[in-house]
Amino acid sequence: MSERKDLGRAAQSAYLVVVLFLLIFPLLVLIPMSLGSSTTIAAIPQQWSLRWYDEVLGSPEWRSAFGWSMLTATAASIISTSMGYLGAAAMVRSKSRLQPLLQILILSPMMVPAVVVALATYLLSTSLGLDGGWVAISIGQSLLGLPVAALVIAASLRGIDETLLRAAVSLGARDRQVFLTVVLPMALHGILSAFGLSFLIAFDEVLIAIFLTTPSLQTLPVRIYQAVTYELTPAVAVVSVLLMAIVCAGMIIGGLYNWAMKRMVPATSQS
Amino acid sequence: MSVASRTGQPAASGFMSQGRQFVGLAILLAFLSVFFLYPLVEILVLSVIDAEGSLSLQPLYKLLTNAGIQSILLQTAVTSVTVAFTCLVIAYPAAACLARLEGWKATLGNIIILFPFLTSSLVRTFVFIVLLGRNGMLNQFLVSIGVPGAPWKLLFNQTGVIIGMTYVLLPYMLLSLVGSMKRVDARLIDAARSLGAGRVTIFFTVYLPLTAPGVAAGLVITTILAFGYFVTPALMGGPAQVMIAQLVEQQVVIMFNLSQAAGLSIIMLVIVGVAYAVAARWLGIARLMRAG
């Protein structure tokens, strides 16, 4: 019986390893793919070179696309995070009967299909006269990140023990002091995660950017989309590797931050 | 709130004073109304104005009775349900194992799931276009081990779309399942075993029912995400795999037919809205959101 059980467990573990491998392997293949020298993409190039890194990093088109994406995604994630904080505070503390309605409203940009949000942003930008501007793209992208930001910040606000707030108030702290010295430091992890996640969502967003793109305003995903459709050169692999490096850096920073917080802050306040 | 009432201090309540909380909420509501709800109303209005400029349901009716659009809607529905169930079948055993892991193994497993989850969906679709091509890595491998019929056609057809979307959406399913599996109380399994239940009985009478909410939430999330998906079907599908989001995109970018795009958006909104309403009734909105 137990032998059979062990066998079953082993088979399951092996299966998990296979699934995880299949998840990560295609992304790892991008690295050799980006190191070829010919114009056709091969998983294992015949000749290794950094040619395409030179081309991408030296290309004004890719550089401007990256710049536009940094701009729209930064603006979008600032909006998402601040609006998400307001939403989270309302979701966590409100005892109103309208609370479920509020929650649905805050989360609705995530439930509405992205293409509908994109069309909405397109109409908005024409009726506000922002036609094709990066501001409209940022606003649309911030909508997509807002629900995620609100959820992540709400989770961190829920983790704050109300006794601490009460203690601060009873010791004479004003509202602003309670916020700056108690709430903000304890919710900082959530706020930074919300910022990071909404940045990635905005940075990866295609449809809003496609609807509002102009020849002089192309975000990175629009550029990648066009390159995959019309060119399919190792340049796309190079950009992919650079994007993965950003994600990797973000995950490492997040991990280190967590680790550092766990060492600095005693376990009691981490409940 | 409670702080103010218990300590007798004015103002301070939770994270902001009542007044400030109200102002914050007002700012948020104004933001959502102007930038989200108002344009949604605009879409609704656009979708119900006919060629003469008068209000009517005729344009929506025309869209719904159009054979081409019906077949695209059917294609979208079939693809998204197929992708969701494929994700479930692949993810369930893996998630059950992942939920049991502890320590560095659990961390490593989570990192491997989160990494593709956070990586651009364009990047993930692009790599599959290269891998699944006629001379791609997979076909080269299949040919080299002598699989009959290889190289297979895996791109620009339904198979390609299903493979690509399953890969892109698999992390959502895994995360949703692992969440519900972690909450299963191991003592219940032990109790069932000590009462003489076999492995199969335990799975069907204890484990599966306890993890059913995660399964349902995962299916709902992946189906709805797949239903509105654009990138993967647009890049990996052929002309017969056009999905509804692509149709909207074509109407905006190529045809400049905003009222048709608006009509299609309203149809999508209604379908997704019904799906969410049913799921929320069945699962509770909080659980659905946590899984997403």
Instruction: Supply the pLDDT for residue A131.
Output: 65
Cα dist from A79 to A143, A184, B266, whole Å: 9, 17, 27
Average pLDDT estimate for A249-269: 77
pLDDT of residue A265: 64
Cross-chain residue pair A232–B129, CB shorter than 8 Å:
yes
Q: For chain B, give the mean pLDDT.
A: 87
Summarize pLDDT for A178-217 with one digit per residue, the tens.
888 888 888 898 999 999 999 999 999 999 999 999 888 9
* pLDDT for res A266: 57
pLDDT at position B284 over 90: no
Query: Could you say which of 2.40.420.20, 1.20.120.140, 1.10.3720.10, 1.10.1200.10 is the CATH number of the domain covering B61-291?
Result: 1.10.3720.10
Distance separating alpha carbons of residues A9 and A14, to the nearest angstrom: 9
- CB contacts < 8 A, A to B, total 247
Average pLDDT over residues A160-174: 85
ipTM of the complex: 0.89
Cβ under 8 Å to A: B residues 124-153 = 124-131, 136-137
Tell me the shortest Cα–Cα distance from B278 to chain A, in angstroms. 14
Residue B290: predicted pLDDT = 55
DSSP string, chain B: -HHHHHH--SS--TTS-HHHHHHHHHHHHHHHIIIIIHHHHHHHHHHTB-TTS-B-SHHHHHHHH-HHHHHHHHHHHHHHHHHHHHHHHHHHHHHHHHHH--HHHHHHHHHHHHHHHHS-HHHHHHHHHHHHSTTSHHHHHHHHTT-TTPSP--SSSHHHHHHHHHHHHHHHHHHHHHHHHHTS-HHHHHHHHHTT--HHHHIIIIIHHHHHHHHHHHHHHHHHHHHT--HHHHHH--GGG--HHHHHHHHHHTS--HHHHHHHHHHHHHHHHHHHHHHHHHH-HHHHHHH-
DSSP-H helix ranges across chain A:
2-33, 51-58, 60-93, 99-111, 114-127, 134-158, 162-170, 175-178, 184-203, 207-212, 220-226, 234-264
The domain spans of chain A are 60-270
pLDDT in tens, B4-52: 443 333 334 455 566 777 888 999 999 999 999 999 999 999 999 887 8
Interval B67-89 mean pLDDT: 96
CATH of the structural domain A60-270, one choice from 3.40.50.150, 1.10.3720.10, 3.40.50.720, 1.10.150.120? 1.10.3720.10
Q: How far is B24 from chain A (nearest CA, A)?
A: 6
Q: Tens digit of pLDDT for each residue in B244-263?
A: 999 999 999 999 999 999 99
Q: Higher-confidence residue: B64 or A2?
A: B64
Whether the predicted pLDDT of B140 surpasses 90: no
- Of the two residues A86 and B21, the one the predictor is more confident about is A86
In this complex, is the C-beta atom of A234 within 8 Å of any C-beta atom belonging to chain B? no
Yes or no, beta carbons of B43 and A139 under 8 Å apart: no
Instruction: Say yes or no: A246 contacts chain B, CB-CB below 8 A.
Output: no
Look at residues A86, A89, A82, A61 and name the one whose alpha carbon lies nearest to residue A138.
A82
Taking a C-beta distance cutoff of 8 angstroms, is the pair B128, B163 a contact?
yes
Yes or no, beta carbons of B231 and A5 under 8 Å apart:
no
| Residue that is written with structure tokens 């002309």 in the block | B239
pLDDT at A249 over 50: yes
Residue tagged 């993810």 (tokens):
B91
Within an 8 Å CB–CB cutoff, is residue B30 touching chain A? Answer: no
Residue B18: the pLDDT is 67
Q: What pLDDT does residue A3 have?
A: 66
| Nearest CA among A222, A191, A190 for reference residue A82 | A191
Q: By the CB < 8 Å criterion, does B170 face chain A?
A: yes
pLDDT tens digit sequence for B198-213? 888 888 988 998 898 8
